[in-house]
Structure 1
Amino acid sequence: MMEADLLEKEHPLLHRAEQLVFCDLINALLQENLAGLLDRARIERTWPGPAAHECSELGEGEQYLRLPLGDERSLVVRVKAAPFIQPYKLSRLPAVLVDQRANSVQELTPISFMQRFADALSAVERQASMPNLQDFQQELRDSIRHTALSMQASTSLEQSEQKSDDAALLQAERFSAMRDRPFHPTSRAKRGWSDEDYRTYSAEYGRAFGLDWLAVRRDYVQASTAQDVADFILDEAEKARLRQAAREAGIDEQRYLLMPVHPWQTDHVLPAFYREELAQRICVPVVRGLGAFRPTSSVRALVPAGRQRYHVKVPIGIYSLGALRLLPPRYLYNGAKGQQLLVSVAEKDERLRQRLRLCDETNWWGYHDAAADPFADKPGHLACLIREYPADLLRDDAVQLIPMSGLAVVDPQGKNPVFAAWLRARYGEDAGVAEVLQLFREICHMLIDTSLRLFCYGIMPEIHGQNVLLIVRDHQTTGLLLRDHDTIRLHLPWLAAAGLQEPAYRIKPGTPNSLINETPEKLLSYFQTLGVQVNLYAIADALMTAYAIEEAAFWRVIMSVVRESLGEEGLPEQARDVWKTQLLEADTWPIRLLLTPLLQRTDSGGGSMPAGVGSTSNPLRQLEAADE
């Protein structure tokens, strides 16, 4: 009943979803100062429209941000000055178009707001700053719809949490997906999926589905191992069924490798990309819907029923965060090399050896045509990776693995049940603000101290919340578990100074190589953007809502922990100086641009996420100034 109702335009979930997307959109526009928005706009306390309109009233600290469009028309939103990261934030909706000549006010949607904003630019400015506007507007539509579907799933998620045999990790993964990439207005858009696809294959709904299996001629396979994929993710009965189906399809397993394929990929991608290979029996369909798998927050990584230790990651030819969800073999190769480097550095460093654990991602298989372009999208549409979680952590009843992204979400009641359960277990039912901040400090310590140790060796993993899991033993944070090692960024002089071997990354010619950083400052920027702003600040943002704590309190914790980290023994002076200067003393910090690269994209982009870097005032310097 409810699923059918969501198809109606006036469904309340669609309205709530639109508001959520709209808030993220306006705040991102303000943070990035897209197309000089803040330079063009005026901050005023005078309402330019009819006196009777609801926007004619300002609350405490509110002002109007008015963007003149010409002909006495303006875009108007209410904002408040923001103390950190960006100068202003949206205080509340609606966003409106005010026409002073007609004495009228029109409420806008995210799509119409972007169109009005674009119309205010000259043709040259519009082409320079948002040539991809039309596609971005469609992505906003998809995001609103998929956000509504995600909200719809939250009810079933709450019920399943109360009576579930699921592993706690899978429950946390489902909850993480409710927000996806923090602060990103189109993060929930899975472009290419219908409503029913979203319900079937997204993590929020938690539905189990079988994988399809394709036999691929071994001379068209590139692999890191001679093992069979099925041994990791199928039980004995399922493997027997697979072998029987292979025999019936005329498959000789000495000549063919059996590979799992996402069912959406079978229906929508393989017939187009692998038409010739299917016709020539280079690739042969074997069986559909085998096993029972449920998606994690990354969508591509799937958990087999009853086998929590091994996750299988498969490509899906949909767009998310502006990139195709592919698995190019070079990424799989780079991930194995990145993992090998992390193992090597942990062997050198006692502190890292004590608290840094890794998922094993060295077993992978991918389609490979020696006569074709290895950097084309095609190989990335047919591949798989096994992600093995440390068995000792999964066996230990005293250990809980918490994806940091699961702490950066609030449910429809404005709470975070993952954090709340941990807080109660640690401090009891009477835990208050002091305990919330103490637990946040513990989280910060583990991430910041570990990141600094790695930075000293010229290494920075991609430490946003989806890639980092807290190892919590008896309700105390004891370490970090890292996954997704294909983007381990490096500063080679420090790597060499530590006697560590440079991984021979495979990089597509002609593309920016963000894995190798010429300066330590550039390497550290990934900690500032992904580690602090996308990870720790997103957690703080959720806890601000859940516990009504002011933002400055969380920045004080972050600054305190950064300062304490400088007291670690054995830190190289050069690394300590860069850490201190860039984090505590510099006037500005880098920020990760969300909208600018999406709007400026002029091609499909393939499997690479559109990326860009801007700058903002140093939040730790701002905190010092505010506290003086």
Structure 2
Amino acid sequence: MTTESLWRHTNQRLMAKIIAESNYEGCLAPRQTDDQGWELTLGGHVYRFRARRTVWDFLRIEPHSLTRDGEPADSAAQLVVDAQASLGLTDIVLANFLEELQNTLAGDRIQQKRLSALSAGDLLELPAAEQEGLLDGHPKALANRGRMGWGQADLLAYSPEGGNRFRLRWLAVDPALTGTHVGTAPLDQCLTDSERNAIQKELGERRDWPLVPVHPWQWDHRLQAQYAEPLARGQLVDLGVRGHWYRPQQSLRTLSNDAAPEHCDLKLALTILNTSCYRGIPAEPIAQGPALSQWLWEQSRQDPELHRTGLEVQRELAGCHVPHPQQSQVDGAPYRYHEMLGAVWRESMASKAREDERTMLMATLMQCDGQGRSLIAALIRRSGLAPEIWLTRLFDCVTLPIYHLLCAYGIGLVAHGQNLGLILRDNAPERVTIKDFHGDLRCVDQPIPEAAGMPTSLLDSLKRLPPEYLVHDLITGHFVTTLRFISPLLEDDLGFHERHFYGLLAERIRAYQADHPELADRFDRFPLLRPTLERVCINRVRFRIGYEDHAERPLPELGEPLSNPLRQPLPTGETP
């Protein structure tokens, strides 16, 4: 693929995403001109394209069909400039958004160039950590590779699509400076024996000080200057670059051990703006992370439904947060200044797989190869199973345990494609892994968790929300952000109609409900089969609040209600 053709290809893919998601969120309103023809007037210019509307009221656009005023359209940035008034962007917000888009295109070009040489089969043969570096990332966020603060060298060195690995810097922290330190960090999974011995010798009387790994970018661009005072006073001891090599996951700040994927993952502070917020390590969730994930793990072993479906919990083993000496005294400071230095040690997805199993992110099922062939279709073909049987296994081991956590325990997870791991045997779904309980786990503001035995110490640390809010986590995180992008691929590649897909899912939910009559009142409190669903909009928030600093992380908005695909009729003559 030439430089020019790669530029055109990545721009057209992003343009299709911008139009489709902005239409889904109610910001842009294309007009249908014929069976698959659409027209959109923006800033006095006419865009035309081919698309079909899915069961989620979402336009699946053919990127290479896009034209602007009758000529091939290949500039995502110009599209956004043309759409400024329709999107309600001020000049300041538009300029910042254009920077995010250009950064996204830079990452997309690297990813698409690597993908162009790989078939779906090639991608499925890759180890999970390498496979993850070739995924598209969050499908809802328009500038999902925005990475504000990174240059091209950073992109190549530290992004998942860059395909490179790196080692970490280590600091020893005076306990008097450490704000939160919980659990026992498995340092033997991060540092060699000789390195740990050398550190102990170097620290001498300070050998009991907590050790914190640091992302090399964070060290260069944030910590050396912002934590200069504790470094100068000896409250932070720089131990240099040591330990194992790591690869970045899609979330950027979470890293996989390259040589030993079964060893723990590391989640480190990375103060760059990416998608919706700065990717730091907040102090509040760290304190209860190990205890909360241990309690969830225990329920996964004791609860008959969770045990039957094989839910796996990637437990948080330890965590450490080091507040800034002065910023911590400013309560209303932008949240990024409170999250600059910290780490979480978490069990890896690979550690949950048995010898005859393999793992991949749920997001892998949304991915296509360089020729547009979907990986989920390739998996189903390899399994030898009919699509109905394969999908039944997927829904039973992924959707149902998450729904059960909500109904039986009042726990909501933001279960998007990067937070769920899929364990497969013979290319078919076997179990699901859940992770990331730092702000992505909430519980209902009713006595359901208490009745389920959740300790008060854990309950007090969690955000509690009404049922109608908590069910959004399942609908938006799993249905809208993940399944919405999987079901069209099966219709395109296997001829498996979307309505058949959701009819089958509805059948599995009804079967679960029939098996658990004791939870009947919970099904009413957390209704999944109601006629309409809430339409959660994340890009509109960025358009509205812009890029100014805020003391709190931003929250999504709601758009027009959606017709629930789980309630829509099947194609004529078909049954689930």
TM-score by length of 1: 0.80
CA distance in 2, matches of 1:133, 1:108: 19
Equivalent residue number for residue 26 of structure 2:
33
- Contact map agreement 1:179 1:188 (CA 8 A) in 2: no
**Structure whose alpha-carbon radius of gyration is higher:** 1
In structure 2, runs of 5+ residues without a counterpart are none
1:139-538 correspondence runs (5 A): 139-154=100-115, 168-175=127-134, 178-225=135-182, 227=184, 230-243=187-200, 246=202, 252-254=205-207, 256-288=209-241, 290-307=243-260, 308-336=262-290, 338-343=292-297, 345-346=299-300, 349-354=303-308, 355-368=310-323, 372-373=328-329, 376-389=335-348, 393-394=352-353, 396-417=354-375, 420-421=378-379, 423-424=381-382, 426-427=383-384, 435-456=386-407, 457-473=409-425, 475-486=427-438, 487-493=440-446, 494-502=448-456, 504=458, 515-518=463-466, 520-538=467-485
Aligned in 2, Cα 1:62/1:416: closer, same or farther, shift over 3 Å?
Answer: closer
- 2:68 aligned with 1:111: no
Aligned in 2, Cα 1:91/1:571: closer, same or farther, shift over 3 Å?
Answer: farther
State, as a whole percentage, how many aligned pairs show the same letter.
Answer: 19
CA drift of 1:262 comes to: 0.9
Amino acid at match of 2:55: F
Aligned in 2, Cα 1:415/1:126: closer, same or farther, shift over 3 Å?
Answer: closer
CA drift of 1:284 comes to: 2.8
- Contact map agreement 1:17 1:145 (CA 8 A) in 2: no
Aligned in 2, Cα 1:189/1:420: closer, same or farther, shift over 3 Å?
Answer: same
Equivalent residue number for residue 137 of structure 1:
98
The SS at the match of 2:514 is coil
- 2:563 aligned with 1:618: yes
- Contact map agreement 1:309 1:388 (CA 8 A) in 2: yes
1:74-85 correspondence runs (5 A): 74-78=45-49, 80=51, 82-85=53-56
CA distance in 2, matches of 1:542, 1:94: 18
CA drift of 1:76 comes to: 3.0
Aligned in 2, Cα 1:564/1:525: closer, same or farther, shift over 3 Å?
Answer: same
The SS at the match of 1:381 is coil
- Contact map agreement 1:62 1:91 (CA 8 A) in 2: no
- Deviation string 1:369-412 (CA, Å, 9 cap, x unpaired) is 57734864334221111112489744x31222232112111111
- Deviation string 1:574-596 (CA, Å, 9 cap, x unpaired) is 112345xx43232x211231310
- Contact map agreement 1:404 1:469 (CA 8 A) in 2: yes
The SS at the match of 2:431 is strand
- Deviation string 1:522-550 (CA, Å, 9 cap, x unpaired) is 22121111111112222224444444544
Aligned in 2, Cα 1:400/1:114: closer, same or farther, shift over 3 Å?
Answer: same
Amino acid at match of 1:19: Q
Amino acid at match of 1:538: F
- Contact map agreement 1:22 1:109 (CA 8 A) in 2: yes
Equivalent residue number for residue 62 of structure 1:
36
- Contact map agreement 1:393 1:399 (CA 8 A) in 2: no
CA distance in 1, matches of 2:330, 2:427: 46
TM-score by length of 2: 0.86
CA drift of 1:214 comes to: 1.9
In structure 1, runs of 5+ residues without a counterpart are 46-59, 99-103, 508-512
1:540-555 correspondence runs (5 A): 540-555=487-502
Aligned in 2, Cα 1:369/1:598: closer, same or farther, shift over 3 Å?
Answer: closer
CA drift of 1:28 comes to: 0.9
Aligned in 2, Cα 1:241/1:22: closer, same or farther, shift over 3 Å?
Answer: farther
CA distance in 1, matches of 2:349, 2:41: 54
- Deviation string 1:337-362 (CA, Å, 9 cap, x unpaired) is 54245246446621113422211203
Aligned in 2, Cα 1:223/1:554: closer, same or farther, shift over 3 Å?
Answer: same
- Deviation string 1:394-449 (CA, Å, 9 cap, x unpaired) is 4x31222232112111111223447625641x31xxx6xxx234312321222222
Aligned in 2, Cα 1:344/1:140: closer, same or farther, shift over 3 Å?
Answer: same
CA drift of 1:23 comes to: 0.6
What is the RMSD computed on CA atoms of the aligned residues?
A: 3.5
CA distance in 2, matches of 1:226, 1:622: 46
- Contact map agreement 1:323 1:606 (CA 8 A) in 2: no
Amino acid at match of 2:395: C
Aligned in 2, Cα 1:68/1:477: closer, same or farther, shift over 3 Å?
Answer: closer
- 2:537 aligned with 1:593: yes
CA distance in 1, matches of 2:330, 2:306: 36
- Contact map agreement 2:315 2:346 (CA 8 A) in 1: yes
CA drift of 1:133 comes to: 2.3
- Contact map agreement 2:379 2:427 (CA 8 A) in 1: no
1:85-100 correspondence runs (5 A): 85-86=56-57, 88-92=59-63, 98=69
The SS at the match of 1:204 is coil
- Contact map agreement 2:49 2:67 (CA 8 A) in 1: no
Amino acid at match of 1:568: D
CA distance in 2, matches of 1:19, 1:232: 43
- Contact map agreement 1:525 1:590 (CA 8 A) in 2: yes
> Number of matched residues?
563
CA drift of 1:147 comes to: 0.6
- Deviation string 1:39-91 (CA, Å, 9 cap, x unpaired) is xx6x364xxxxxxxxxxxxxx6134434375xxx3433335452422265545
CA drift of 1:499 comes to: 4.2
CA distance in 2, matches of 1:607, 1:157: 42
CA distance in 1, matches of 2:7, 2:373: 21
Aligned in 2, Cα 1:469/1:107: closer, same or farther, shift over 3 Å?
Answer: closer
- Contact map agreement 2:311 2:397 (CA 8 A) in 1: no
Aligned in 2, Cα 1:327/1:120: closer, same or farther, shift over 3 Å?
Answer: closer
CA drift of 1:476 comes to: 4.9
